[in-house]
Amino acid sequence: MSTDMNQDNILDDFAMESPLGPETLLSYVKKYPELALELTDLYHELLMVDLSAAADAIQQNTKSVVGTSQQNEASVASALSGANLRKLAQKLGLPRDYIAGFRDRKVRFGSIPGPLLINLARSASVNVHQMIKYFQDTTGPIPQMAHKAAGKPQGSATVEYDEFVKGLDLNESELEALNRLSVSDGQD
């Protein structure tokens, strides 16, 4: 009976070692060769528990990142839609079609001038990195306006920023507002 108690104490001591690595296992096996099998089994069991806990933590972090990414996209989409779209367009002095083009990702991201993107994000009260992620994410559906039509709606291809602006046929005051939006204020 005292041998069993002694064996349990040795195994408990081994399990409490920190850090628990191959060196620790080797030293215990040298000290207690009669417990080599039990020590090895316990070592592998403890490693599996550690790996399982690490895997759970990774899954939780992944869920958190995915959730944050979806929240970021939703906040940008919300800032560029509905009543927020109207308010933003009015605040900037630009037509709603201009903001809707960004919402619908009609403009190729790489062609959008940096200062304009930064100022648009600030005006929409979203972070610049959220706006960038929104444009770079092509996995999700691109929101399109619903129209009554005889045929199935087709998504439009992205265009260069300059082509997009030309297609809006902006008046003089809207062009001035666009120029103000395109100017860097030195904070970037």
pLDDT of residue 135: 79
Mapped to the 3 state alphabet, what secondary structure does the chain carry? CHHHHHHHHHHHHHHHCCCCCHHHHHHHHHHCHHHHHHHHHHHHHHHHHHHHHHHHHHHHHHHHHHHHHHHHHHHHHHHCCHHHHHHHHHHHCCCHHHHHHHHCCCECHHHCCHHHHHHHHHHCCCCHHHHHHHHHCCCCCCCCCCCCCCCCCCCCCCECHHHHHHHHCCCHHHHHHHHHHHCCCCCC
Kindly give, in sequence order, each residue whose CB lies less than 8 Å from that of residue 186, ignoring residues fewer than 6 positions away.
none
Instruction: Quote the pLDDT of residue 146.
Output: 47
The per-residue pLDDT for 151 is: 56
How would you write the pLDDT of the chain (188 residues) with one tens digit per residue?
A: 456 668 888 888 888 888 888 899 899 999 999 999 998 888 878 777 665 555 555 665 555 544 555 566 778 888 888 898 899 999 999 999 999 898 888 988 888 888 888 888 889 988 888 888 887 776 654 544 444 555 555 556 789 999 999 999 999 999 999 999 888 765 54
